[in-house]
């Protein structure tokens, strides 16, 4: 994974850099962050900080539009992005008190409720939601283990993902890298990835998504 784009010293740039780096490491993807736009000053206030840093962004779980694709909506909202699951990202245009950024399902009849203050905060919450969904599956990919790391310790971390597989088989896989543990619970998998990262192990989730029960390998 390589985080690409432009470095920014302000707080929004630092937070966005940190989030993109985390997503890239944990999902094994390359993320390109385009340069910001001088047109940010003409956008609603909650969007300006983000667009000064990046004029749009594509992540596995969210797309933020370039500034010239922002779409005005009825009832005082503008759409500035979407996720893969038919939800729009909206910003309230009036400068009244309270939150102004919302995520709204296109199919719902419920009125829009803003719950976020800025775009990076929203993306961080969406990433947590993406990983914690109890129905989402993933594959765990381990590509490198530093010399000196106790592989039995790694087996103890990985085994709860596939308890029916013997420790000896897990150990053999860790000695023959790269290794993949397919079709695991995504929420449990990301916890293991983060544990492995603390030990210096190169690991990430891949093929994150919903799967038909007939194709599951852990039942």
Instruction: Give the pLDDT mean for 39-48.
Output: 94
Q: Are 91 and 47 in contact (CB under 8 A)?
A: yes
Is 67 inside any structural domain?
A: yes
- How far is CA 31 from each of CA 3, 54, 57, 178, 190, rounded to the nearest angstrom? 5, 12, 9, 22, 19
- How far is CA 150 from each of CA 14, 99, 135, 139, 200, rounded to the nearest angstrom? 34, 48, 32, 23, 11
> How many domains does the chain fold into?
2
Judgement on whether residues 153 and 127 belong to the same structural domain of the protein: no
- Last residue of one domain, picked from the residues 67, 98, 132: 132
Judgement on whether residues 41 and 110 belong to the same structural domain of the protein: yes
pTM of the model: 0.89
Q: What is the pLDDT of residues 118-150, one digit of tens each?
A: 999 999 999 999 999 889 999 999 999 999 999
Judgement on whether residues 121 and 206 belong to the same structural domain of the protein: no
CA gap 51, 174 in Å, rounded = 43
Judgement on whether residues 144 and 114 belong to the same structural domain of the protein: no
Over 70: is that where the pLDDT of 218 sits? no
Q: What is the pLDDT of residues 180-207, one digit of tens each?
A: 999 999 999 999 999 999 999 999 999 9
CA gap 78, 66 in Å, rounded = 13
Q: What is the pLDDT of residues 45-61, one digit of tens each?
A: 999 999 999 999 999 99
The token pair at 55 is 């004029």
Run of H or E residues at 202? strand 202-209
Could you list the residue range(s) of the whole structural domain that residue 119 is in? 37-132
Is 123 inside any structural domain?
A: yes
């Amino acid at each position: 994974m390589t985080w690409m784009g432009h470095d920014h010293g302000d707080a929004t740039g630092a937070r966005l850099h940190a989030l993109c780096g985390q997503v890239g490491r944990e999902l094994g993807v390359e993320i390109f962050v385009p340069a910001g736009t001088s047109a940010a000053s003409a956008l609603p206030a909650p969007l300006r900080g983000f667009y000064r840093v990046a004029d749009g962004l594509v992540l596995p779980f969210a797309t933020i539009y370039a500034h010239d694709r922002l779409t005005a909506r009825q009832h005082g909202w503008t759409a500035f992005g979407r996720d893969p699951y038919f939800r729009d990202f909206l910003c309230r245009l009036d400068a009244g008190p309270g939150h102004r950024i919302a995520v709204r399902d296109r199919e719902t009849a419920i009125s829009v409720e803003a719950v976020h203050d800025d775009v990076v905060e929203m993306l961080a919450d969406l990433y947590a939601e993406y990983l914690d969904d109890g129905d989402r599956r993933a594959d765990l990919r381990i590509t490198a283990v530093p010399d000196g790391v106790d592989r039995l310790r790694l087996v103890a971390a990985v085994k709860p993902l596939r308890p029916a597989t013997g420790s000896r088989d897990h150990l053999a896989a860790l000695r023959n890298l790269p290794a993949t543990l397919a079709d695991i619970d995504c929420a449990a998998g990301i916890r293991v990835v983060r544990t492995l990262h603390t030990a210096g192990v190169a690991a990430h989730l891949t093929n994150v998504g919903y799967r038909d029960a007939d194709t599951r390998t852990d039942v």
